[in-house]
Each structure stands twice: as structure tokens, then as C-alpha cells.
């Protein structure tokens, strides 16, 4: 049986990071002796991925066939609503994916890794951890 991951992000790259990476960055900023007044940090993972990459990594680690299926934004939203997601949230999720398709979730500044003093957690390690704690089924 083929499992499908759905969205409307096309081949948009997503520069996500783990909660741990973000928490370490927050701690670094809060503990910094440098004045942070008026500073804004755009935090992003080092290695961007597409939703197809994400589905492929889950498939690789679980041994289950999983494919990303891209939909038009309106169809994706409608499918989320049909699955029980409240319409307002379905709209937010669909809009976020549509933004990713336009590059809104991509950032290659490496600000996050500089703040935490190490590379951000790779996608494969994030999926491994999520599968271990049950975040990804």
C-alpha cells in the first residue's frame, strides 16, 4: 500500500530546524553579553528540504512506500477540511504551503547555526527522533 503525503508546496524548499536548535539559539541570545535591543534574528535550518524530500526520508527510515502528492492550494485546503481540520486552520496550513512554494520558508543565512555554535540538526536525525517518540506515524 502506497501512503501519500499531501500539500501544495510544490518544490518549495523549507529551512526548518528542531525545537532543540531553536531553544539553544534562544538561550544563546538571552545569555549573550551583547546588547540585543532592537535585534531580530531570522532562524532557519542549514539544509532546506522539500515536502517530497521529507516524505522520502520517512519512507527510507520506515521502509514504507510514501510519496508526496502536490495539490492546488484550494484542493489541499478542502481535503484538510474534509479530514476534520477546522477551516480556519486548514486555510493557514494551505497558505503556509503555498508560501513555501514561492520560497517564503527558505533561508540560507546560517544564523541559527552560528548562534548555537554547531550545524543544525539534519532532516534524517529529526525524522529518526520523531519516529522514536511517535511524532511521525
Cα–Cα distance between 85 and 79 in angstroms, integer?
Answer: 9
What pLDDT is stored for residue 64 in this prediction?
A: 94
* Residue 110 Rama label (left phi>0; alpha psi -120 to 50; beta): left
Burial of 5 (0-12, 13-18, 19+ CB in 10 A): middle
- Per-residue confidence (pLDDT) for residue 137, from 0 to 100: 55
pTM of the model: 0.88
In the CATH hierarchy, which top-level class contains the domain 3-70+106-133?
alpha beta
Domain coordinates in residue numbering, the chain:
3-70+106-133
What pLDDT, on a 0 to 100 scale, did the predictor assign at position 25?
Answer: 98
What is residue 12's predicted lDDT score, i.e. its pLDDT?
98
Q: Extract the residue ranges of the chain whose pLDDT is less than 50.
A: none
Cα–Cα distance measured from residue 35 to residue 16, given in angstroms and rounded to the nearest whole number: 27
- Report the 10 Å Cβ neighbour count for 50: 19
Amino acid at each position: 500500500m502506497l501512503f501519500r503525503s499531501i500539500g501544495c508546496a510544490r518544490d518549495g524548499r523549507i529551512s526548518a530546524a528542531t525545537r532543540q536548535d531553536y531553544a539553544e539559539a534562544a538561550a544563546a541570545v538571552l545569555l549573550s553579553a551583547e546588547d540585543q535591543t532592537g535585534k531580530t534574528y531570522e532562524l532557519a535550518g542549514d539544509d532546506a528540504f522539500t515536502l517530497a524530500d521529507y516524505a522520502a526520508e520517512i519512507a527510507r527510515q520506515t521502509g514504507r512506500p510514501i510519496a508526496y502528492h502536490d495539490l492546488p492550494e484550494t484542493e489541499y485546503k478542502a481535503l484538510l477540511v474534509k479530514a476534520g481540520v477546522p477551516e480556519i486552520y486548514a486555510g493557514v496550513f494551505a497558505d503556509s504551503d503555498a508560501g513555501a512554494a514561492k520560497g517564503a520558508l527558505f533561508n540560507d543565512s546560517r544564523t541559527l547555526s552560528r548562534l548555537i555554535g554547531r550545524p543544525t540538526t539534519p532532516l534524517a536525525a529529526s525524522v529518526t527522533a520523531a519516529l522514536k517518540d511517535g511524532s511521525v506515524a
